[in-house]
Amino acid sequence: MTFDSTAGTDGLWPVYKGESFDLWNPDTGIYYAWADPEPVLQWLQAKRLKAGRSRRDSPHREFMPDYLRDRATLPCFAPRVAFRDVTNRTNQRTVIACLVPPRVFIANQAPYLLWPRGDVKDQAFVLGVLSSIPLDWYARRFVETHVNYFVFNPFPVPRPDRSDRNWQRVVELAGRLACPDDRFAEWAEQVGVECGPLEPGDKDDMIHELDAVVAHLYGLNENQLVHVFQTFHKGWDYGDRLDAVLYHYRAAAVVR
């Protein structure tokens, strides 16, 4: 790796850290380093194969051997859901998750999810829930400084049937919000959404609707949703956002 980008980065892949992405922003331009991909890919593949064979607690053991032997299936070749490890409950947001682009490496400041089962629509659904105010409100009851796997794994993610209209709408909203440029074109096509930049007003409206739909998936009534916003962050100006979320919450209730 090189930590000096002034020397040139042609042919190198960025190495992400937590600050390299934000909610619905897959690339802040702030990187941990740059890396020559070939030796890193060799190292990652060797590490994956060794872990899949020898470590009983390795997530790689959940994948078929043929999949692990194919270097093209390394996670860095496709978009993946990552989240920031370092955080605290006094920040404006605690869980910072994002779909990061392909052809980047990620340092351990930003864990990411592996998918031995499911498809890209499941990825979009989980990303949508992780990026919502209702999930973040829950996380803030437990997080102090790190969103590590001991905290992350027990997060209560709703599991409706894929035929559920709210499940489908979360997939549509999160899938579209996650794909601001052509790096995500193939992933967006698989999800069934458009790809490209969004107008700020449209983006905000989709984020507000996502909060509302996730609230329905958690079974929150309107008073409980208001309580979530009132107690989410001390001193934050939530009035306009709450009004927008309530508008979509009521509309979604009518659709159901």
What digits encode the pLDDT tens for the residues 175-227?
A: 999 999 999 999 999 999 999 999 999 999 999 999 999 999 999 999 999 99
What the block records as the tokens of 43 is 């190292």
Report the half-sphere exposure of 233 (CA within 13 A, side-chain side): 14
pLDDT at residue 88 greater than cutoff 80:
no
Strand partners, 86: 146
Domain ranges of the chain: 5-255
What CA–CA distance (Å, rounded) separates 110 from 106?
A: 6
Nearest-5° angle of CA 87, CA 89, CA 90?
100
What digits encode the pLDDT tens for the residues 11-46?
A: 999 999 999 999 999 999 999 999 999 999 999 999
Task: Tell me the C-alpha to C-alpha distance, in Å, between residue 168 and each of 79, 162, 214.
Answer: 20, 7, 11
The 33-35 sheet, strands edge to edge: 33-35, 13-16, 105-106
